[in-house]
Amino acid sequence: MLEPARRSQRLAVAFPASFTKDIPHLREKTSRSGIVARALAIFRVDEVLIYDDASNETSRREGRLLEKLLSYQETPQYLRRRLFPHDPDLQFAGILPPLRLPSHPSVEKPRPGLVREALVVETGTESMVDAGFSTLIRVPTKLKQLDRVSIRLTRKEPQLQGEVVDSSRLPIYWRFRVTRTDSTLGKLIRRRKDDLTISTSREGKPVRDVQEDLGLKWKSSKQTLVVFGSPDRGVPEILGREGLEVEKICTFNLNMIPNQGVETVRTEEALTATLSLLNALGDR
């Protein structure tokens, strides 16, 4: 089974709600979100934050759709029917590429020590959770109905029993979380406690010009946020609408693809290029 090492720092990316607004058809919106989910998983991102970059209903609707598509793809297959009942927004979910995260196991038999994602289906003084086996798992804890939890199996006989674990403390990279907020980008950055914030922008400094400084700050960081702009506005412009200067609110404002050979770089392409570069810098 795949067991990728967890990063030494927590890594989050911020994506605009209007990410797919320039795409008219749901099939193509679904396909593009699939590319994003693959990049998040490949480069061991802990959380993707969807922020409100336009403050209108169209942007919020697109943000809700992106949240749903990414959440669906991140959810293990055995929980999708329970968590995502028939939904027209998911009619093209079949084209989404599999993630094969550690939290997406292949068929396996229950055994003590095994960690699985589960859904609380019965609750009381004890709870019963569905972890994709033929029988439910008993957890000697009162949990909230329909909550999704991570479970470690503690006993197989005479009945499956488990305990809740914090997946963020597992020694391996487990999955990414999806969080959508109605906050603007500036408010989102200011309320977080990241010690390294990287803005990606064509108007930023070429990354090669600050590579040494970036590498030092990246390796010493405990919590990093990487920010991406929308299809029609870069991060400096989005922050400028709030009266904020990108240089004062972000540690770096970087052009991650200097001398690009095309007129525009799509956000999902910038995501892959940026995460690839950071990954090459290594961990501490």
> pLDDT digits over 113-136, tens only?
999 999 999 998 999 999 999 999
Cα distance between residue 115 and residue 103, in whole Å: 8
CATH class of the domain comprising 10-99+182-281: alpha beta
Is residue 30 pLDDT above 90, yes or no?
A: yes
Confidence (pTM): 0.94
Q: Which residues fall within 8 angstroms of residue 218, CB to CB, at 6 or more apart?
A: 9, 196, 224, 278, 281
Is residue 252 pLDDT above 80, yes or no?
A: yes
Beta bridge partners of 11: 224
Look up residue 18 and give its DSSP letter. G
> pLDDT digits over 64-115, tens only?
999 999 999 999 999 999 999 889 999 999 999 999 999 999 878 999 999 9
CA dihedral 164, 170, 172, 178 (to 10 degrees): 70
Say whether domain 115-169 belongs to CATH 2.40.50.140: yes
What is the predicted pLDDT for the residue at 75?
97
With beta carbons less than 8 A apart as the criterion, state whether 283 and 7 touch.
yes
Interstrand relation of 127-130 and 137-139 (parallel, antiparallel or unpaired): antiparallel
> What are the sequence ranges of the domains in the chain?
10-99+182-281, 115-169
Render the burial of 194-227: b for 16+ CB within 10 Å, e for the rest: bebbbbbbbebeebeeeeeebeebbeebeebbbb
Q: Average pLDDT for residues 213-218, to the nearest whole number?
A: 96
With beta carbons less than 8 A apart as the criterion, state whether 197 and 225 touch.
yes
